[in-house]
């Protein structure tokens, strides 16, 4: 099957033009377009071909399963549809349809021409494990995230990372040859959703380069190193030899990877058009316990592309050798983290990310190429996620918290739209994961100090005794819930519900809805205690409960202001967030003082 046989001719022409554009400057139109006259329909799982064949006459379209996975995923395609919007309106009314939309296209820009790196390789430095790969010293990107130290903790053994891309040069088959530096790498069975067969071979070069950063054979005396070199790679081809694919293939590939044991999915691809079918696939993978990592985009604008912008995906920006955001790297409110992606304006080819891949003009020829892009940054994060799973991480929430807590803040900011939670730091991330089950008692200490201050400001006749306050469960339990959470439920088991319940109350909304994104200023405020206080005015029995809640919030907010974390959404930290937190601490203390006063005759 021709790589363009499943694309409309107009779309194919746009994608051919895209191949001439530099890596850092993808075309505006190619990434945003939908295939003319094509729609994707995602049926409820279990819907049979016989069932939707019976509905086609009313819809006026002919839908077919997108691939052999269709019978399980329910994802179908229709092409040659004259009235796309009219057909979608009819199809969406059916109760068996979960999503229906125009068929969105996704691309990667063509990589820059490979060129030789001049001069001797610089000597690797730093503490930790130093592999014997001769060009490891050229991998400034691995030094930047402190891989030698991280390798002393984890190398990704036993973890499967799915690479949804142009394929991987992982086998000798016909004209396809395995690249030398992947010969001792580990692979599990994947799939080619472009050509619908079991051989996800790379005919472009992008996917092999990405896979190398994740798990290139390392300490083998050849070439370069990979981040999680003891992990296994799952090659999943969703992009053709022009670096182009569609939402139906990508959505099925996401589900395929999650269902076949991938703990991490890497998607170094993107587009500007939102696909509900893909969004549902990302949510499905996350529910299965898979971490989905995606590139923020290479347009250098303040808007994160899809699939990185979906809820449930980790969005990655790119930095150069200087640790600053690369000019091409997109950014925005959905951004989660930054990682080395290269900047050839700093040092030429040496400023890119070096990996073994294929010559795009000849898939049988192996080359070492220096590429740059958020495509190159993304596999660094995916690979560190694999290191976390190898060390015992139990799901996306735990992995993401470690990634964000371990990241190095940029310009002293806990979060920013350009760097997310900061620059990826592998060793600190692994250390953060190790410490996740310990309790941070600092908010509780702040709460105790603030409680003492409140009680001292209450007159003697109305002041409750210190022990009288502290030993009352109706006061102490809400104080604990707001500051340190129900930490003891972690001893019961490892279920995600128990893990979530163990968090401080203000952090629940970020974990459940925000995936570690900046905290909502409405939750990191006195709003909840204030609203609760209105109820407590009429119900005296609730006053100690709300008083404890108010003191707990005051302690957590005070600690947040002092420590500089978490970042507060929409607020520059020093200019607005700290005053906001301090003001709300004072409001909480006012509420607590009013509710803790004892009415004596």
How far apart CA 133 and CA 116 sit, in angstroms, is: 17
Does 16 or 381 have the greater pLDDT score? Answer: 381
Mean predicted confidence (pLDDT) in 89-112: 86
E-only strand ranges, 296-417? 313-319, 337-340, 353-359, 362-371
In sequence order, the β-bridge partners of residue 354 are 370
Higher pLDDT, 242 or 471: 242
Q: Has residue 247 got a pLDDT over 80?
A: yes
8 A C-beta contact, residue 211 and residue 168: yes
Which pLDDT band holds residue 54 (cuts at 50, 70, 90)?
Answer: very high
51-58: Cβ within 8 A, 24+ apart: 51/96, 52/76, 52/96, 55/94, 55/96, 58/90
Band (pLDDT 50/70/90 cuts) for residue 1 is very low
Q: Per the residue annotation, which of 154, 181, 203, 206 is the catalytic one?
A: 206
Could you say which of 42, 133, 146, 165 is catalytic?
165
> 461: which 2 tokens?
């006749």
Q: Which residues contact 539 (CB under 8 A, 6 or more apart)?
A: none
- % of the chain at pLDDT higher than 90: 63
The structure tokens listed for 516 are 């570690």
Model pTM above 0.85: no
The residue ranking higher by pLDDT, 418 or 467, is 418
* Residue (of 436, 400, 392, 376) closest to 153 by Cα position: 392
Identify the bridge partners of residue 234 per DSSP, sorted by sequence position: 162
* The predicted structure's pLDDT at residue 578: 86
Q: Domains of the chain, with CATH numbers?
A: 9-107 (3.30.70.80), 138-434 (3.40.50.200), 442-596 (no CATH)
What pLDDT is recorded for position 347? Answer: 80
Q: State the distance between the two ends of the chain, measured CA to CA, in whole angstroms.
A: 90
Give the whole-angstrom CA distance, residue 554 versus residue 596.
14
In 3D space, the residue among 366, 365, 332, 372 whose CA is nearest the CA of residue 349 turns out to be 372
For range 221-226, the mean pLDDT: 96
**Token pair recorded at residue 415:** 């979060």
Burial of 186 (0-12, 13-18, 19+ CB in 10 A): middle
pLDDT at 84: 95
Confidence band, pLDDT 50/70/90 cuts, at residue 584 = very high
pLDDT digits (tens, 9 = 90+) for 360-399: 889 899 999 999 999 999 999 999 999 999 998 888 988 9
User: Please, which residues have CB within 8 angstroms of residue 44's CB and are 6 or more apart in sequence?
Assistant: 74, 96, 97, 98
**Residue 220 to residue 67: CA distance in whole angstroms:** 38
Distances (CA, A) of 255 to 73, 193, 249, 282: 8, 12, 10, 8
User: What is the pLDDT, as a whole number, of residue 576?
Assistant: 82
| Distance of alpha carbon 207 from alpha carbon 354, whole angstroms | 14
Q: What is the mean pLDDT of residues 32-54?
A: 91
Q: Which residue has the higher pLDDT, 499 or 409?
A: 409
pLDDT tens readout for residues 165-220: 999 999 999 889 999 999 999 999 999 999 999 999 999 999 999 999 999 999 99
Which residues have CB under 8 Å from 491's CB, separation 6+?
A: none
Whether 370 is a known active-site residue: answer no
Residues 6+ apart with CB under 8 A from 261: 160, 188, 234
Q: Is residue 261 very low, low, confident or very high in pLDDT (cuts 50, 70, 90)?
A: very high
Cβ atoms of 268 and 258 within 8 Å: the answer is no
pLDDT in tens, 281-310: 999 999 999 999 999 999 999 999 999 999
pLDDT tens, position by position, 429-444: 998 876 555 566 788 8
pLDDT attached to residue 573: 55
Q: How much is the pLDDT for 17?
A: 28
pLDDT in tens, 199-211: 999 999 999 999 9
Instruction: Say if residue 14's pLDDT is above 90.
Output: no
Strands (DSSP E) found in 135-268? 160-165, 186-187, 191-192, 232-237, 244-246, 264-267
| Strands 232-237 and 186-187, sheet pairing | parallel
CA dihedral angle for residue 420, residue 421, residue 425, residue 430, rounded to 10 degrees: -130
Q: Which residues of 534-570 are buried (b: 16+ CB within 10 A; e: fewer)?
A: eebeeeeebbbbbbbbbbbbbbbbbbbbeeebbbbbe
Tell me: pLDDT of 582 over 50: yes
What count of Cα atoms within 13 Å lies in the side-chain half-sphere of residue 593? 15
What is the structure's pLDDT at 511?
Answer: 58
3-state secondary structure of 235: strand
- State mean pLDDT over 96-109: 91
Q: Is the pLDDT at 5 greater than 80, yes or no?
A: no
Work out the average pLDDT over 315-320.
96
Residue scoring higher pLDDT (114 or 589): 589
Closest CA to 568 of 577, 580, 557: 577
Active site (annotated) includes residue 206 = yes
Name the catalytic one among 375, 416, 502, 525: 375
Whether the per-residue pLDDT at 462 is higher than 90: the answer is no
Enumerate the β-bridge partners of residue 353.
Answer: 371
Q: How far apart are alpha carbons 595 and 328 in whole angstroms? A: 54
Query: Are 461 and 577 spatial neighbours (Cβ–Cβ below 8 Å)?
Result: no
More confident residue, 77 or 518: 77
Average pLDDT, the chain: 85
73-82, 459-468, 551-560, 572-581: segment of lowest average pLDDT: 459-468
Q: Is the dihedral of CA 535, 537, 542, 546 positive or negative?
A: positive
HEC assignment per residue over 17-35: HHCCCCCCCCCHHHHHCEE
Cβ-contact 493, 501 below 8 angstroms: no
pLDDT confidence band for 18 (50 / 70 / 90)? very low
CA angle 536, 538, 543 (to 5 degrees): 30
């Amino acid at each position: 099957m021709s790589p363009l046989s499943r694309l409309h001719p107009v779309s194919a022409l746009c994608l051919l033009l895209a191949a001439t554009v530099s890596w850092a400057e993808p075309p505006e139109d190619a990434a945003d377009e939908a295939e003319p006259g094509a729609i994707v329909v995602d049926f409820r799982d279990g819907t049979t071909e016989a069932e939707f064949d019976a509905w086609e006459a009313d819809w006026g379209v002919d839908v077919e399963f997108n691939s052999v996975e269709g019978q399980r995923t329910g994802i179908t395609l229709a092409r040659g549809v004259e009235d796309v919007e009219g057909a979608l309106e009819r199809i969406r009314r059916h109760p068996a349809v979960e999503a229906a939309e125009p068929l969105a296209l996704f691309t990667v820009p063509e990589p820059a021409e490979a060129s030789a790196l001049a001069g001797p390789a610089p000597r690797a430095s730093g503490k930790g494990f130093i592999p014997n790969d001769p060009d490891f010293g050229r991998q400034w990107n691995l030094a930047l995230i402190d891989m030698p130290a991280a390798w002393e903790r984890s190398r990704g053994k036993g973890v499967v990372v799915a690479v949804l891309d142009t394929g991987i040069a992982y086998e000798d088959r016909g004209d396809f040859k395995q690249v030398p530096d992947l010969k001792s790498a580990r692979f599990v069975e994947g799939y080619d959703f472009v050509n619908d067969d079991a051989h996800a071979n790379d005919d472009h070069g992008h996917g092999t380069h990405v896979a190398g950063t994740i798990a290139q054979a390392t300490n083998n005396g050849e070439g370069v190193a990979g981040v999680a070199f003891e992990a296994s790679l799952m090659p999943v081809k969703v992009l053709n030899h022009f670096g182009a694919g569609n939402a139906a293939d990508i959505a099925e590939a996401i589900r395929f990877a999650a269902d076949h044991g991938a703990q991490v999915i890497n998607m170094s691809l993107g587009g500007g058009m939102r696909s509900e079918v893909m969004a549902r696939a990302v949510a499905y993978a996350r529910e299965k316990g898979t971490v989905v990592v995606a590139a923020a985009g290479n347009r250098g604008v303040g808007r994160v592309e899809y699939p990185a912008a979906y809820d449930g995906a980790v969005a990655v920006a790119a930095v150069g050798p200087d640790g600053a955001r690369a000019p091409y790297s997109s950014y925005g409110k959905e951004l989660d983290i930054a990682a080395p992606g290269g900047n050839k304006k700093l040092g030429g080819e040496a400023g890119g990310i070096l990996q073994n891949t294929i010559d795009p003009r000849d898939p049988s020829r192996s080359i070492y190429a220096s590429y740059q892009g958020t495509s190159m940054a993304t596999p660094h994060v995916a690979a560190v996620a694999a290191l976390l799973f190898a060390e015992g991480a139990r799901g996306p929430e735990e992995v993401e918290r470690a990634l964000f807590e371990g990241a190095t803040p940029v310009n002293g900011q806990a979060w920013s739209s350009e760097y997310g939670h900061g620059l990826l730091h592998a060793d600190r991330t692994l250390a953060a994961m190790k410490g996740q089950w310990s309790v941070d008692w600092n908010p509780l200490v702040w709460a105790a100090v603030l409680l003492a201050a409140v009680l001292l400001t209450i007159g003697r006749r109305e002041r409750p005794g210190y022990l009288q306050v502290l030993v009352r469960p109706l006061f102490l339990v809400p104080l604990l819930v707001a500051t340190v959470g129900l930490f003891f439920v972690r001893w019961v088991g490892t279920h995600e519900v128990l893990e979530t319940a163990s968090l401080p109350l203000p952090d629940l909304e970020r974990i459940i809805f925000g995936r570690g994104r900046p905290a909502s200023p409405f939750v990191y405020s006195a709003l909840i205690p204030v609203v609760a206080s209105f109820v407590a005015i009429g119900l005296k029995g609730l006053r100690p409960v709300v008083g404890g809640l108010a003191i707990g919030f005051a302690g957590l907010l005070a600690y947040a202001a002092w420590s500089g974390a978490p970042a507060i959404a929409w607020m520059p930290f020093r200019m607005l967030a700290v005053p906001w937190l301090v003001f709300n601490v004072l409001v909480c203390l006012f509420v607590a003082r009013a509710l803790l006063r004892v009415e004596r005759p």
